[in-house]
Amino acid sequence: MVERANKPSALAATPGLPPQAQVNISDDNSMVTAQLPTGETIEILLHGATILSWKDAAGDEKLWLSENAKLDGSGPARGGIPLVFPVFGTNSGHAVEKLPQHGFARNSRWEFLGKSTSEGATAGVKLDFGLSSQNLDEATRKLWPYAFGLIYSVTLDRESLNTTLVITNDGEVPFEFQTLLHTYFKVNDIESVQVTGLEDSPYVDKLDGLKVKNQSGTVTFTGETDRVYTPAKGPSHPIVISDGGKPRFRIVRDNLDDAVVFNPWVDKANSLADFTPKDGWRKMVCVEPGSVSKWQTLEKGDAFEAAQTIYLE
């Protein structure tokens, strides 16, 4: 064989693909889990498309979930991030008044539509879920007889969690709705929690006859709290949850004008059968971006899109 004077060196090995997020569906097809290459994880229950768990790379849980939360589809899960649609609370005298509290989205079986991943330093993952009027049982369709579609996207990155909801009117007539992301944050001690970003904002006090009041400073907690704020500085201005004097979570809203702040305290927690442990109120606070102080009207063929992004501080 003739030896070439300038024989090329061996080709470099083809570089392997960068690490990708791992996404799994449970054996009983009830839950979707994802883990980033850097260790962050998320768990979503297909019943309600409820986010049950969000952990950082060190395994530190960010969401509060009742030890007695319903995970078998027998009812909505208490804790995590349930989805509220098409009504917040109950609303007598309205077309939704016969629906269960907070509507049917958190108590319906959603479809997992698939995943998409991003590469590079963040290596995030987006999980998509869907619910439509065709997925509802006959009894619910009779109570709310509108053709609709919901696409819920959950994007996990190293230091943030984004939840985006797209609502479409697939029918021939307009409908009205409210929606909210009912986020339960895990904290060390509610009595040392402060919420900023709501200063000088009006709110409806649900514990005081729905009186409209004004927030004069930082929100702190000394008893049961259930308020619907319309933050004065708009959705893009962050709401920050601090715990023990240290910022923990920064929430930025998109097209969600309101924010509900809730803690059940002693008596309310004791009255809720699925709230355990009974002193769990000390370890949680709800700050819930939503569109609930008024009704949104969606015309035939139109869509409404809204989101929250929670950043770890």
Helix (H), strand (E) at residue 52: strand 50-55
CA 211 to each of CA 145, 204, 214, 218: distance values in angstroms, whole numbers, following the listed order? 33, 6, 10, 19
Is 250 among the annotated ligand-binding positions?
Answer: no
Is 101 among the annotated ligand-binding positions?
Answer: yes
Q: Mark 140-159 as b/e (b = at least 16 C-beta within 10 Å).
A: beeebebbbbbbbbbbbbbe
Separation CA 33–CA 50 (nearest Å): 12
Separation CA 146–CA 238 (nearest Å): 34
Residue 180 φ then ψ, to 5°: -165, 150
Rounded to whole angstroms, the maximal C-alpha distance in the chain is 96
CA 199 to chain CA centroid, Å, is: 23
Is 4 among the annotated ligand-binding positions?
Answer: no
> Known catalytic residues?
182, 288
What is the CA angle 121-123-127, rounded to 5?
155
Residues annotated within a binding site for substrate: 78, 101, 106
Residues annotated within a binding site: 78, 101, 106
